[in-house]
Amino acid sequence: MKKVITYGTYDLLHQGHINLLRRAKELGDWLIVGVTNDNFDRNRGKLNVKNNVLERVEAVKATGLADQIIIEDYIGQKIDDVQKYNVDIFAIGSDWEGKFDYLNEYCQVVYLPRTEGISSTQLRAEAHECVKIGMVGAGRIAPRFVSESRYVGGVEISGIYDIDGEKAAEFARQNGIGNVADSFESLLDDVTAVYVATPHLTHYDIIKKSLLARKHVLCETPMVLSGDQARELYALAESQGCILMEANKTAHCPAFNHLISIIKSGEIGEVVDIDASLSKVWGDPTVREFDPAQAGGSLFELGSYPLLPIVKLMGCNYEDVRFYSRVSGGIDIYTKGVIQYERAVCSFKVGLGVKTEGNLVISGTHGYAYVPSPWWKTDYFELRYEDQNNNKKFFYKWDGAGLRYELQEFVACIINKRYSSARLRRRESVCMAGIMQAFMDRHNFIEI
């Protein structure tokens, strides 16, 4: 049996893709199709992929031309696959002419003619799939959002609004933004979506007004400090046909997503304990984070990050939550939380005036996962076992400030009308807001 292998992203599957698959299949008896996974595409700078890997696999499967579909995860995999599957012919489009000649050492390389006049790039351009984003807030994170947006296809930062008009104007000048809105309402007139980077207590009203105007919303974390408000806003978003997403960059971190997948697959057995910590020592006591009137404090500022791995792995149906806090100036400068589940106990530590190690440890019945500080933007983690010979190390790419990953997912959800991202489900966002609410209500709260 003559085996043929080919590879592609297969984003926006079109007739050109189908023609190539058909030509490849005609070369032999068995066609293996490698579909590049989302993280591999990101590593190659392809943040304009519309469909996620599962959707693209299903699209290739639906053609009926592939006898076998595999996922391409890493550079150099083509050599491994050719040998692993005893491939006779490697086939690829003629626009790659000469690029894969090195595979001739392992099999025959055939460059297939492409269908003229059609490509995924052309289809994107013709569809005019540009998400015009209006920014609300010109604070510390705003410049990073602008610079990161330049790495994501189909995105334009088209305007900005801040209650400080002069600050907004200067920000626009420095970052090449054409429209400085004189009111929030006028910002909404000419945008597809809104990015909210304002103090916590303003989020609810801004999100609600944006959704009522039928604008998609990406809001900095924590989105709101109330589970009831989060539930209300997500329901409103879906009723308005809009995407609402909490901008938790860790949830979209390539390494973190692989970590969650590996743990859920049972690599360390049943999870019985998670311990996550994050802390900063701020030198300026006048910043918003130390102002109780603006919901300052360790938990509200940092809590959504260590809560993330807990709710991702253990779920939202916890039995109890307790808080132990050191309070100064009306805000918690340190909080330790303990969350009890039926068969597990988890803890998190956050501090604005107390420094902790800042790592993540997930303990299971067969081994444990160790993610060193700063785990919330990790590019590396380990699985460790009783027999150290079985230990495994994992390395992933982390680009820039990491905001490009959440922005790409936000745009993909808009295009595909996915109201909830698997990276941070709506119910998980609601759960974390509910824990914030319990802290605000001083439920099971002990001051130390």
DSSP 245-301: EEE-GGGG-HHHHHHHHHHHTTTT-SEEEEEEEEE---S-TTSGGG-GGGT-SHHHH
Examine the pLDDT at 71 and tell me if it is beyond 70.
yes
Comparing 95-109, 202-216, 237-251, 272-286, the range with the smallest average pLDDT is 272-286
Full strand arrangement of the beta sheet holding 216-220: 179-180, 155-161, 131-136, 193-196, 216-220, 244-247
Place of tokens 């300026």: 284
- pLDDT tens figures, 164-219: 999 999 999 999 998 999 999 999 998 999 999 999 999 999 999 999 999 999 99
- CATH numbers and ranges of domains, the chain: 3-122 (3.40.50.620), 128-248 (3.40.50.720), 254-397 (3.30.360.10)
Write down the pTM of the prediction.
0.80
DSSP 38-96: HHHHHHTT-TT--S-HHHHHHHHHHTT--SEEEEE-STTHHHHHHHHTT-SEEEEEGGG
The residues with which 345 forms a beta bridge, in sequence order, are 273, 340
Nearest to 416 by CA among 54, 39, 42: 54
Question: What pLDDT does 144 receive?
Answer: 95
Q: Mean pLDDT throughout 408-414?
A: 91
Question: What is the Cα–Cα distance from 135 to 160, expressed in whole angstroms?
Answer: 5
What digits encode the pLDDT tens for the residues 83-117?
999 999 999 999 899 999 999 999 999 999 987 65
pLDDT band at 129 (very low <50, low <70, confident <90, very high): low
The residues with which 370 forms a beta bridge, in sequence order, are 361, 382
